[in-house]
Amino acid sequence: MDLRQLEALLAVADHGSFTAAARALYTVQSNVSAHVRRLEQELGTVLVDRQHGELTPQGALVADRARRIRREVQAIADDVASFGADVAGQVHAGVVSTAARWLLPQVLAALHEQHPKVLPTVLEASTTSLRPLLVSGRLDLAVVNLPLDDDEIVVEPLLEEQLMVLVLKGHPLSGRASVSVRELAPFQLLLPPSGTALRDDIEAEASRHGVTLSPFAEIDGGRLMTSLALEGIAPAIVPSTALPGWIRGNFDRIPLDGLARRVIGLARRRGSALSAPGAAFAEVVRTVVAARAWRQPGVAVVEDLAPTTPAAPGMPSVAARGVEA
DSSP letter for each residue of 121-184: EEEE--HHHHHHHHHHTS-SEEEEEE----TTEEEEEEEEE-EEEEEETTSTTTT-S-B-HHHH
At 325 the pLDDT is 28
At 83 the pLDDT is 60
What digits encode the pLDDT tens for the residues 268-296? Answer: 988 777 888 899 999 999 999 998 888 88
Q: Kind of pairing, strands 89-95 and 141-146?
A: parallel
- Confidence class for position 253, pLDDT limits 50, 70, 90: very high
Residue 325 lies in a domain: no
Residue 320 lies in a domain: no
At 321 the pLDDT is 32
Same domain, 105 and 240: no
Residue 314 lies in a domain: no
Same domain, 42 and 181: no
> 318 or 276, which is more confident?
276
Residue 171 lies in a domain: yes
At 82 the pLDDT is 58
CB burial of residue 185 (10 Å; 0-12, 13-18, 19+): middle
Calculate the alpha carbon distances from 241 to 86, 97, 163, 237 in Å. 33, 9, 9, 12
Same domain, 113 and 242: no
Same domain, 10 and 67: yes
Mean predicted confidence (pLDDT) in 232-257: 89
Of 50, 4, 46, 53, give the one whose Cα is nearest residue 27. Answer: 4
Last residue of a domain, one of 78, 98, 128: 78
Same domain, 11 and 128: no
Same domain, 181 and 293: no
What digits encode the pLDDT tens for the residues 24-55? Answer: 888 888 888 888 888 888 888 888 888 777 88
What digits encode the pLDDT tens for the residues 144-184? Answer: 988 888 888 999 999 999 999 999 999 999 999 999 999 99
* Strand partners for 121: 92
At 87 the pLDDT is 85
What digits encode the pLDDT tens for the residues 305-317? Answer: 643 434 333 333 3
What digits encode the pLDDT tens for the residues 207-219? Answer: 998 999 999 999 9
Task: Give the CATH number for residue 170.
Answer: 3.40.190.10
Same domain, 150 and 186: no
Domain total in the chain: 3
At 214 the pLDDT is 94
Same domain, 151 and 292: yes
Decide: 111 and 82 in contact? Cβ < 8 Å: no
pLDDT exceeds cutoff 80 at 303: no
pLDDT exceeds cutoff 70 at 304: no
Same domain, 94 and 153: yes
Task: Give the CATH number for residue 73.
Answer: 1.10.10.10
pLDDT exceeds cutoff 60 at 320: no
- Confidence class for position 121, pLDDT limits 50, 70, 90: very high
Calculate the alpha carbon distances from 282 to 156, 158, 219, 295, 302 in Å. 10, 11, 29, 20, 15
Same domain, 194 and 231: yes
- Confidence class for position 242, pLDDT limits 50, 70, 90: confident
Residue 200 lies in a domain: yes
Q: What is the CA radius of gyration of the chain?
A: 23
Alpha helices (H) in the chain, listed in sequence order? 3-15, 18-25, 29-43, 57-82, 97-114, 127-136, 181-184, 197-208, 222-230, 276-292
Last residue of a domain, one of 223, 255, 287: 255
Same domain, 176 and 212: yes
Q: What is d(CA 31, CA 15) in angstroms, rounded to the nearest whole number?
A: 16
Last residue of a domain, one of 78, 104, 132: 78
Mean predicted confidence (pLDDT) in 226-235: 94
Q: Is 95 helix (H, G, I), strand (E, B) or coil?
A: strand
* Strand partners for 179: 256
At 313 the pLDDT is 38
Residue 321 lies in a domain: no
Domain range for 38: 3-78
Residue 318 lies in a domain: no
Same domain, 197 and 235: yes
Mean predicted confidence (pLDDT) in 190-209: 89
- Pick the range with the lowest mean pLDDT from 59-63, 164-168, 190-194: 59-63
Residue 99 lies in a domain: yes
